[in-house]
Amino acid sequence: MHSVLFILDKPNTDEVDNMQAWSKFQTTVLEIIKNHPETRRLDENSLLLDLQSELPSFSSLVNISQAWKLSYQVLFFEEEPQWIQYPS
């Protein structure tokens, strides 16, 4: 495996517990990006991580999501994703 796309299903932040969980997730994401600038944040709830160097970060995302009962999805890539930029 080369990399993983991690997508958290954003909870209803009108509820106090969900707001705390969302805040904790965002803090974790900021720490990961600060310590690993090669991690690509695609949106407020999605990241692309290189598994060769970011396995601990991926583990942190899974752990915090499970601890706060946040649902998430993962998509694994065998090879490095190929980005196409428009206009080129």
DSSP state of 11: -
Q: Is 8 exposed, middle or buried (0-12, 13-18, 19+ CB in 10 A)?
A: buried
Task: Please report the domains of the chain, with CATH numbers, ordered by start residue.
Answer: 3-77 (3.30.70.240)
Say what the pTM is: 0.87
C-alpha distance from residue 75 to each of 26, 41, 83 (Å) = 20, 15, 16
C-alpha distance from residue 9 to each of 14, 39, 69, 82 (Å) = 15, 19, 11, 25
H-type helices in the chain, by residue range?
Answer: 16-35, 51-67
* pLDDT tens digits, 15-67: 999 999 999 999 999 999 999 888 999 999 999 999 999 999 999 999 999 99
